[in-house]
Structure 1
Amino acid sequence: MRRMLRNVDTGLLMLILSMLAFGVMMVYSASFVFAALEYGDASHFFSKQLIWTVLGLLLFTIVSFIPYQLYGKFIALFVGITILLLFLVLVPGIGVERNYSTRWLGIGPLVFQPSEIAKVVMVLYFARVYSKKQDYIEDFRNGFLPPLIMLAFIFFLILAQPDLGTGISIVIACGGILLVSGAKFIHLGGLALVAGSGMSYLAFSADYRLERITSFMNPFADPDGNGFQLVNSYLAIGTSGFSGEGLGNSIQKLGYLPEAHTDFILSIILEELGVFGLLLVIGMYLLFLLKGFQIFKQAPSHFGRLLAFGLVVQITFQAILNMGAISGMMPITGITLPLISYGGSSMVITLISLGVLMNISLQSNQLLERAQS
């Protein structure tokens, strides 16, 4: 056990703890006024975020010491459970509806998003399957295609909730795995073309998705309706300056920016901490990206490399989606800022994913230590 602790990736660990501490602080700052008015307790969301963070860290610690190779042996079971949960979400009376979407399951007081579980399970699935198909991955019908059928099935189950943002993040993560799997470029190019065309069709085929796209392009055309969140995000960003209004002094969180502690928390960070806060957030994600690619390159097996790459791409792309949404550069998808935004399911699943990444790094360090001894 002492030897394992010696090989823990302290750089990754300290980065994760720093992001969590910053996130908990900003959740309180962004939510205490709304929490006091709505629940009579200024620390309502802060307390819940703290509980989810502690639970997530406990699971992160456990997963960090479970050999990642073990997940490959049970991947069929994980995928089966994920499909069952995604089906249950769509069953009337079982799925929990919030903000006109049915994305949650409730078990007593516990409410969680199965689509968050699908994020890590599909990365595990793709990494496992394509690591086993190395000898015939250039065979389109038998090597390249079969996992994509499962991905499409999972994607449409999530789209039915509806949750296009999470579906896209899963597709991008799995696409990242394909990119480094050794597949033919002609197959990858064809897949990208089909996926791009499909996403474009889906984006314009439903009125609510079309409204989100048009509101993102010109939020001031409907500032009291579909453009309301983005307009108020602009106001928060526009008044920030270099140093911001000061921690706790946001104006937009006073009922103007709805649920500012969730997917628009970066707007409050900018308003209160200014450019410094933005650079801090971007810097932490860039450090994570660099650390993640280092783990990817040093992973002890092809399965580990594909898995590390998929996890890093997924978390980083989620951060990019969130930053793009609050700045008006991308459509608003409801995607949270990993490790910083308020949210139980997202927090726990992200920390579990990071636990898997930590184990890949730990095994790499163990191999390096043996080679040097």
Structure 2
Amino acid sequence: MRRMMRNVDTGLLMLILLMVAFGLMMVYSASFVFAALEYGNASHFFSRQMIWAVLGLLLFTVVSFIPYQMYGRYIAFFVGLTIFLLVLVLVPGVGLERNYSTRWLGIGPLVFQPSEIAKVVMILYFARAYSKKREYIEDFKNGLLPPLIMLGAVFFLILAQPDLGTGISITIACGAILLVSGAKITHLGGLGLVAGSGIAYLGFSAEYRLERITSFMDPFADPQGNGFQLVNSYLAIGTSGFSGEGLGNSIQKLGYLPEAHTDFIMSIVLEELGVLGLVLVMGMYLIFLLKGFRIFKHAPSHFGRLLAFGLVVQITFQAILDMGAISGMLPITGITLPLISYGGTSMVITLISLGILMNISIQSNQFHQQQAHN
């Protein structure tokens, strides 16, 4: 244990703690007015997020010292449990409905999203599957196809909730693993074309998804309806300036920007902290991306490299989706900003993912130290 402690990436650890602390601060700032009016307690959302953050950091610590290879041995169980939970969500009277979507399960006071669990489980599954198929990865039928069938099943279970954004996020992360797995370029190109066409069809096939796309393209065409959230996000961003209105001084969180502490929390960051807040948030994610790619490059095994790459891409892509949505550059998907937006399951699962990444880093440092001594 002491040897592992010496190999902890302190830079990555400090970055994670900074992002969690910043997220807690912004959750309180973005939610205290709404929480006081709705629940009579200004700290309602903050206190809950704090509990999830403490739990997540405890799990992060534990997972950081569990060899990542262990997950490969139990991957069938993890995948089976994930599919069971995703099916359970869709059972009438079992899944919990919020904002016209059924994405949650409740066990007493504990409410969580199985689709968040699917994010890390599918990355583990893809990394394990394609590391084992390395010798025949160019064989489409036996090497490439079987994990894709499982991904398709999980994607459509999540789509049924409905939650296209999370389904796309998982697909991109798994696609990134495919990209570095050694698969043929022709196979990757064909799969990318099929996936892109399928996602485009799904985006235009449902009325509510089509409304999100059209409102993102021209929110001012329906500023009191489908474009309401994005128009108010623009107002928050447009009044920010270099240093913003000051922490706690957002106007848009006063009932104008719905549930500003969730997927639109970055709008409040910009309104209150201005360009400085944007630079801080983007800087933290950029440092994470650079550190993540370094861990990917130096991972001690093919499984570790695929796993690290998938985890880094998933978290980074989720941040891109969120920031693209609040700025009107991408359609609104409801995807949260990792470690910063309010959301208990997202916080815990992201910290577990980072714990796995930390373990890959620890083992990488140990491996290269041994190589240097030999």
Which TM-score band applies after superposition, normalised by the shorter structure? Answer: over 0.9
2:91: which partner in 1?
A: 91
1:155: which partner in 2?
A: 155
Per-residue CA deviation, residues 60-110 of structure 1 (Å, 9 max, x unaligned), is 000000000000000001000000000000001100000000000011111
| One-letter code aligned to 1:218 | D
> What does 1:168-207 align with in structure 2 at a 5 Å threshold?
168-207=168-207
Is 2:345 aligned against 1:353?
no
| One-letter code aligned to 2:113 | Q
> What does 1:22-41 align with in structure 2 at a 5 Å threshold?
22-41=22-41
> What does 1:15-26 align with in structure 2 at a 5 Å threshold?
15-26=15-26
- Please state how far the C-alpha of 1:313 moved relative to its aligned partner: 0.2
- Please state how far the C-alpha of 1:137 moved relative to its aligned partner: 0.3
| One-letter code aligned to 2:268 | I
Per-residue CA deviation, residues 31-70 of structure 1 (Å, 9 max, x unaligned), is 1111111111111111111100000000000000000000
2:279: which partner in 1?
A: 279
CA–CA separation in structure 1 for the residues paired with 2:335 and 2:75? 26
CA–CA separation in structure 2 for the residues paired with 1:144 and 1:370? 34
1:61: which partner in 2?
A: 61
Is 2:253 aligned against 1:253?
yes
The DSSP-based 3-state class of the residue aligned with 1:105 is strand
1:223: which partner in 2?
A: 223
| One-letter code aligned to 2:314 | Q
1:296: which partner in 2?
A: 296
1:52: which partner in 2?
A: 52
- Please state how far the C-alpha of 1:366 moved relative to its aligned partner: 1.1
CA–CA separation in structure 1 for the residues paired with 2:199 and 2:168? 8
Is 2:347 aligned against 1:372?
no
- Please state how far the C-alpha of 1:24 moved relative to its aligned partner: 0.4
- Please state how far the C-alpha of 1:156 moved relative to its aligned partner: 0.2
CA–CA separation in structure 1 for the residues paired with 2:69 and 2:3? 20
Q: Name the Cα RMSD after superposition.
A: 0.6
The DSSP-based 3-state class of the residue aligned with 1:102 is strand
TM-score, L = length of structure 2: 0.99
The DSSP-based 3-state class of the residue aligned with 2:249 is coil
- Please state how far the C-alpha of 1:367 moved relative to its aligned partner: 1.4
2:104: which partner in 1?
A: 104
- Please state how far the C-alpha of 1:116 moved relative to its aligned partner: 0.2
Q: Percent identity?
A: 84
- Please state how far the C-alpha of 1:371 moved relative to its aligned partner: 2.6
Per-residue CA deviation, residues 162-207 of structure 1 (Å, 9 max, x unaligned), is 0000000000000000000000000000000000110111011110
| One-letter code aligned to 1:19 | M
| One-letter code aligned to 1:153 | A
1:213: which partner in 2?
A: 213
CA–CA separation in structure 1 for the residues paired with 2:318 and 2:128? 22
- Please state how far the C-alpha of 1:368 moved relative to its aligned partner: 2.0
2:123: which partner in 1?
A: 123
- Please state how far the C-alpha of 1:369 moved relative to its aligned partner: 2.2
TM-score, L = length of structure 1: 0.99
- Please state how far the C-alpha of 1:131 moved relative to its aligned partner: 0.1
| One-letter code aligned to 2:2 | R
1:6: which partner in 2?
A: 6
CA–CA separation in structure 2 for the residues paired with 1:253 and 1:173? 32
- Please state how far the C-alpha of 1:4 moved relative to its aligned partner: 1.1
CA–CA separation in structure 2 for the residues paired with 1:50 and 1:117? 20
- Please state how far the C-alpha of 1:370 moved relative to its aligned partner: 2.2
CA–CA separation in structure 2 for the residues paired with 1:346 and 1:95? 18
Stretch of structure 1 that moved more, 295-304 or 2-11: 2-11
Per-residue CA deviation, residues 214-261 of structure 1 (Å, 9 max, x unaligned), is 111111111111111000000000000011000000000001000000
| One-letter code aligned to 2:311 | L
CA–CA separation in structure 2 for the residues paired with 1:85 and 1:152? 16
- Please state how far the C-alpha of 1:265 moved relative to its aligned partner: 0.4
Query: Where do 5+ consecutive residues of structure 2 fail to align?
Result: none
The DSSP-based 3-state class of the residue aligned with 1:97 is strand
Query: Where do 5+ consecutive residues of structure 1 fail to align?
Result: none
| One-letter code aligned to 2:220 | F
CA–CA separation in structure 1 for the residues paired with 2:4 and 2:188? 39
CA–CA separation in structure 2 for the residues paired with 1:211 and 1:85? 29
| One-letter code aligned to 2:274 | G
| One-letter code aligned to 2:109 | P
CA–CA separation in structure 1 for the residues paired with 2:102 and 2:27? 24
- Please state how far the C-alpha of 1:3 moved relative to its aligned partner: 1.2
CA–CA separation in structure 2 for the residues paired with 1:45 and 1:103? 19
CA–CA separation in structure 2 for the residues paired with 1:285 and 1:310? 16
CA–CA separation in structure 2 for the residues paired with 1:173 and 1:63? 21
| One-letter code aligned to 2:123 | V
1:266: which partner in 2?
A: 266
The DSSP-based 3-state class of the residue aligned with 2:106 is strand
CA–CA separation in structure 1 for the residues paired with 2:32 and 2:293? 37
Q: How many residues align?
A: 373
